[in-house]
A and B are shown apart, each in its own frame.
Chain A
Amino acid sequence: MSVAAAPDATALRASILTGERSCAQVVDGALAAIEARDGELSAFLSVEREAARERAARLDERHAAGETCGPLFGVPVAIKANMCMEGVVTSCGSRMLANYRAPYTATFVQRLLDAGAIVVGVTNMDEFAMGSSSENSAFGPTHNPWDVARAPGGSSSGSAAAVAAHMVPLALGSDTGGSVRQPAALCGVHGFKPTYGRISRYGLIAFGSSLDQVGPLARSVRDLERVLGVLSGHDPLDSTSLPLPPVEPERPEHPERLDGLRLGVPAEYLGDDLDDGVRRSVEAALECLVELGCERVDIDLPHTLHAIPTYYVVATAEASSNLARFDGVGFGARGEGDGSLQGMFSATRDAAFGDEVKRRILLGTFVLSEGYHDAWYGRALRVRTLLRRDFEHAFEEVDVICGPTSPTTAFPLGERVDDPLAMYRSDRLTVPTSLAGLPALSLPCGLAADEGGAPLPVGLQVIGPALADARVLRVAAAFEASTDHHERSPEGAGSER
Chain B
Amino acid sequence: MSAEFERDGTAWISASTGTRWVPVIGLEVHAQLATQSKLFCACEVRFGAPPNTLTCPICTGQPGTLPVLNATAVELAVRVALAVGAEVAAESKFDRKNYFYCDIPKNFQISQFDRPYCTGGGIQLPSGRFVRLTRIHIEEDAGKAIHDRGDETLVDLNRAGVALIESVSEADMESPEEAVEYLEALKEIIRYVGAGEADMEKGQLRCDVNVSVRPQGEPWRTKVEIKNLNSFRNAREALEYEIPRQIEAYESGDETRFPRQETRLFDVRAGVTRTMRSKEGASDYRYFAEPDLPPLALSESFVERQRGLLCELPEARRRRYREELGLSEYDARVLTAVREVADWFEAAARLSGRPKETANWIANDVLGGLADPKIEATSIDELPLKPFDLAELIALVAEGTLHSTGAREVMGEMLRTGAAPRALVAERGLEQVEDEGRLEVWCREALEGREQVVADVRAGRIKALGAAVGPVMKASAGKANPRRVREILLRIIGEDE
Mark A residues whose CB is within 8 Å of B.
Answer: 82-84, 90, 92, 97, 100, 102-104, 106, 201-206, 208-210, 236-240, 317-318, 320-321, 324-327, 329-331, 341-342, 345, 365, 368-370, 373, 377
Contact = CB atoms under 8 A, between A and B. Distances in A.
B63 A206 contact: yes
Contact of A206 (B64, B153, B286, B293): B64
Given A103-B57, A240-B294, A318-B291, A327 B65 contact: no
A238 B291 CA distance: 11
A331 B62 contact: yes
26 contacts: A82-B64, A84-B62, A92-B63, A102-B64, A104-B57, A203-B65, A204-B64, A205-B64, A239-B66, A239-B67, A239-B69, A239-B293, A240-B291, A240-B292, A318-B291, A321-B96, A321-B108, A321-B286, A324-B106, A326-B63, A329-B105, A330-B60, A341-B153, A370-B284, A370-B286, A377-B288
Interface in B256-277: none
A97 B63 contact: yes
Contacts of B102: 327, 329, 341
Given A97-B63, A325-B106, A210 B68 contact: no
Nearest to B292: A209
Contacts of B294: 239-240
Interface in B12-54: none
Nearest to B105: A330
Nearest to A326: B63
B291 A368 contact: no
B107 interface: yes
B61 interface: yes
Contact of B65 (A202, A317, A368): A202
Interface in B72-102: 96, 98, 100-102
Contact of A317 (B57, B101, B106, B288): B288
A239 B68 contact: yes
B59 to A, nearest CB: 11
A83 B63 CA distance: 10
B465 interface: no
B454 to A, nearest CB: 89
Given A210-B291, A239-B292, A84 B64 contact: yes
A282 to B, nearest CB: 33
Contacts of A377: 288
B234 to A, nearest CB: 26
A368 B60 contact: no
A202 B100 contact: no
A369 B292 contact: no
A345 B100 CA distance: 8
B107 A327 contact: yes
Interface of B: 57, 60-69, 96, 98, 100-102, 105-108, 153, 155, 284, 286-288, 291-294
A240 B67 CA distance: 10
B34 to A, nearest CB: 23
Contact of B98 (A104, A206, A342, A368): A368
Contacts, number: 104
A330 B156 CA distance: 11
Contacts of A201: 64, 66
Contacts of B101: 341
Contacts of A202: 64-66
A377 to B, nearest CB: 6
A324 B62 contact: no
B100 A365 contact: no
Contacts of A238: 66, 68, 292
B68 A236 contact: yes
A172 B347 CA distance: 64
A106 B288 contact: no
A196 to B, nearest CB: 11
Given A239-B294, A325-B63, A330-B60, A365 B69 contact: no
A206 B96 CA distance: 15
A337 to B, nearest CB: 13
A84 B62 CA distance: 10
A158 B62 CA distance: 24
Nearest to A369: B284
A327 B63 contact: no
Contacts of A370: 284, 286
A228 B130 CA distance: 58
Given A321-B98, A329-B102, 14 more contacts: A97-B63, A104-B65, A202-B66, A203-B65, A237-B66, A238-B66, A239-B293, A321-B96, A321-B286, A321-B288, A325-B61, A330-B61, A341-B153, A369-B284
Contacts of B66: 201-202, 237-240
Nearest to B62: A103
Nearest to B63: A205
Contacts of B153: 341
Nearest to B99: A324
A103 B100 CA distance: 23
B64 A203 contact: yes
Given A237-B68, A327-B100, A209 B63 contact: no
A373 B288 CA distance: 9
Contacts of B60: 330
A41 B293 CA distance: 39
A325 B101 CA distance: 10
A238 B288 CA distance: 19
Contacts of B100: 324, 327, 342, 345
A310 to B, nearest CB: 15
3 smallest CB-CB distances across A and B, nearest first, come from A324-B107, A368-B286, A209-B291
Contacts of B69: 239
A104 B291 contact: no
A320 B67 CA distance: 18
